[in-house]
Structure 1
Amino acid sequence: MQRKKQSHILDDMKQLMKWNVLIANVLPVMTGFVLAIASTNAAFQDYWLQFLLACIGAALVMAGALIINNWYDTDIDSKMERTKKRPTVTGKFTKRQVFITGLGATVSGFILLLVVNLEVIFYAFIGWFTYVVLYTMWSKRKYTINTLIGSISGAVTPMIGWAVVNSAIHIVPLTVSLLLFIWQVPHTFAIAIKRREEYRAAGVPMLPVVYGFDITRRQMLVYIICLFPLPFLIAQLGTLFVVISTILHVGWIVLALAGFWMKNQRKWAQWNFLYSVNYLVIVFMLLIFVGMV
């Protein structure tokens, strides 16, 4: 009975910090670090402790931002099918408990990052402030550009990892961050198409809700095309990376174009969602691979 109760608490905590989103944001931090080690010819053993602290600290800061997002969005989450079981909606945690947990995670994360260096803290703060203040509290409920604003917070993660070793004002982390920023837009639009009626009921002005599927499809295609030249900007990472990422881009462009004649838009959006997830995992695993060999 005790184990079952502990399991439920763990599941609630995972939902509170949006576990899948959190893990997806830690991967680019690791990627940035591996690429920095490879590009600067640094020794891993000289930075392993800073790397560990950066990963844990960044994860705590991100978890804090996601938890505070849940605290602030309880009213919205109660109206959407996919978020109705979050502990903030079910009442398993009080709003005060959630806020204190989010704030505690945030402060703990920044304390750990302080041991690493100030540049790491700077990028982590940009991510936290953008997600909590500019996205959650300001733009999400008011403007369709909420997707662009929210994408900034996820885009800084490779720079956090790179800054553990050296300044992230470098073509590689900047390009990888730009790739992540652009990727988030069609990925999020695909979710918004699938869940349009839920967003409408919650009063969230996502692009498909305000302007419909046609404009959303066009914008998705534009952003996916914008991804195409990015691997060539960092061709120094090797032919393998450029070739595979280009093939993935072409595949996504073809899939995006298919949306202009498919009748079932939600099915098409689901395909785009799945493709975008696999695209990101493959690209970042590939970046880690080329950084290690």
Structure 2
Amino acid sequence: MININQVLHDLKYLFKRFVLIANVTPAMITFFIALHYYGVPLSDYFLQVILLLVGSTFLVAGALTCNNYLEADVDKLMERAKDRPTVTGTMSLRTVLTIGISLSVIGQLLLLYINFEVALYGWIGWFTYVVVYTIWTKRRVTWNTHIGSLSGAVTPLMGWAVVDSALHVIPLSLFAIMFLWQMPHTYAIAIRKFDDYKKSGLKMLPIVKGYQTTICRTTIYIALLLFVPLFVQDMSIWFYVVITILNLSWLYIAIKGFKQRDVLHWANQLFVSSLIYLLSVFICYLLFV
């Protein structure tokens, strides 16, 4: 007899629920930013928004599931992955792979039904995460984080492309922000879970290059965020003021790392502030576009 509670528990960890939400949400928010920018009513895109929500959720869940399948060996060495069904053994690896591929295909087809451009960005995100990031780079080089960041950064392009081509300064600026944002965010996680990553052998920057190099690169990536709003024209003055304040505030936290003796405390601050920063940026775009 199937234990529904156990299945739901397994799926929750298989899909990495918070990572899933963090990837789907930018696509949805950017879709609404596009509607507001072009002055188009939601009723004109009711079917498309449902397809975007379901399709992106399935595609991201499929990618995360494939990631679990491919990293089943290292997950067994990490405390943070102890509840995943690939570790507990409550799901066979064959079942996990079947779920991952099935969800990926269904999600891709749903996005393709919207239009080719949305599906293309979805495929780029899936391929870079599953193949380039998980298979090719994560166990070999520290710049695997850049590949993972590229995968996550395409989600705003997906949302905007539902309404119009994403070759537009607003979605491209959000792409740049999410790409740069993910490096400090991921470095913070790697420091917080330093022992796990060290045991796993995955080539994360803090483990391979040390804390000072990580703090230095974190500061550089956040500093680069200061220049992104310069490429976004014809926005309210308050947009530039608020975005600049957000960037400077996060940069201040990054710089504190150079004098912080408790690196874990700094990493926790950086992690929490990264979430607040990204949410605030998207709200800013929604309010001032």
Common fold by TM > 0.5: yes
8 Å contact 1:241–1:287 — kept in the other structure?
yes
Partner Cα separation in structure 1 for residue 146 and residue 164 of structure 2: 28
The residue aligned with 2:97 is: 99
In the TM superposition, residue 166 of structure 1 has moved relative to its aligned partner by 0.6
The one-character-per-residue Cα deviations of 1:43-82 (angstroms, maximum 9, x if unpaired) are: 3221121121012111111110000000110111111111
Given that residues 241 and 286 in structure 1 are in contact (C-alpha distance below 8 angstroms), is that contact kept between their aligned partners in structure 2? Answer: yes
Unaligned 5+ segments in structure 1 are none
2-structure distance, mates of 1:7, 1:225: 45
Structure 2 residue identity aligned to 1:6: I
CA contact 1:208–1:216 (8 Å) conserved in 2: yes
In the alignment, what sits opposite 1:257? 255
2:13 and 2:286 map into 1 onto residues whose CA distance is 28
1:87-236 to structure 2, matched below 5 A, reads: 87-236=85-234
The alignment of Structure 1 onto Structure 2 pairs a total of residues equal to: 289
Q: Is 1:287 aligned to residue 285 of structure 2?
A: yes
> SS of the counterpart of 1:154?
helix
* 8 Å CA contact retained: 1:15, 1:87: yes
Q: Which amino acid aligns with 2:10?
A: D
Contact 2:14 2:84 in 1 (8 A): yes
Runs of 4+ in 1 over 4 A off after TM superposition: none
The letter of the residue matching 2:52 is A
Match for residue 64 of structure 1 among 62, 65, 68: 62
Give the share of equivalent positions with the same residue, in percent. Answer: 43
Where does structure 2 lack aligned partners over 5 or more consecutive residues? Answer: none
**Greater mean alpha carbon deviation, residues 240-249 or residues 179-188:** 240-249
Within the candidate set 4, 7, 14, 2:5 is matched to 7
Aligned to 2:41: 43
> TM-score, normalised to structure 1's length?
0.94
2:240 alignment counterpart: 242
Corresponding letter in the other structure for 1:28: P
Distance in 2 of aligned mates of 1:257 and 1:41: 41
Residue by residue over 1:79-122, the C-alpha shift from the partner in whole angstroms, topping out at 9 and shown as x without a partner, is 11111121110001110000000111011111211210000110
Letter in 2 for 1:69: N
In structure 2, how many angstroms separate the alpha carbons of the residues matched to 1:81 and 1:236? 48
Corresponding residue for residue 272 of structure 2 = 274
Question: Quick one: which amino acid aligns to residue 79 of structure 1?
Answer: L
In 1: Cα distance, 2:286 partner to 2:107 partner: 24
Q: Is the 8 A contact 2:67 2:130 kept in 1?
A: yes
Q: What is the CA distance between 1:127 and its match in structure 2?
A: 0.2
**Structure 2 CA distance, aligned partners of 1:134 and 1:163?**
24
Asked if 1:81 corresponds to 2:79, the answer is yes
- How far is 1:245 from its partner? 2.1
Name whichever of 273-282 and 236-245 sits farther off: 236-245
Could you tell me which amino acid in structure 2 is paired with residue 222 of structure 1?
I
Secondary structure in structure 1 of the residue aligned to 2:94: helix
3-state DSSP of counterpart to 1:51: helix
Displacement of 1:149: 0.6
Tell me which amino acid in the other structure corresponds to 1:150.
Answer: G
| Cα-to-partner distance string for 1:194-217 (whole Å, 9 max, x where unaligned) | 222221110011111111111110
Q: Per-residue CA shift, 1:174-221, capped at 9, x if unaligned? A: 011110000000100111122222211100111111111111100000
Amino acid at match of 1:111: L
Scaled by the length of structure 2, what TM-score is found? 0.96
Distance 1:137 1:285 in 2: 35
- CA shift, 1:290, in A, is 3.6
Asked whether the equivalents of residues 28 and 52 of structure 2 are also in contact (C-alpha less than 8 Å), the reply is no
Shift of residue 283, structure 1, vs aligned partner: 1.5
Given that 1:70 and 1:88 are in contact with CA atoms closer than 8 Å, whether structure 2 keeps it comes out as yes
**In 2, Cα distance between the equivalents of 1:271 and 1:241?**
25
Whether the 8 Å contact between 1:31 and 1:287 is mirrored in structure 2 is: no
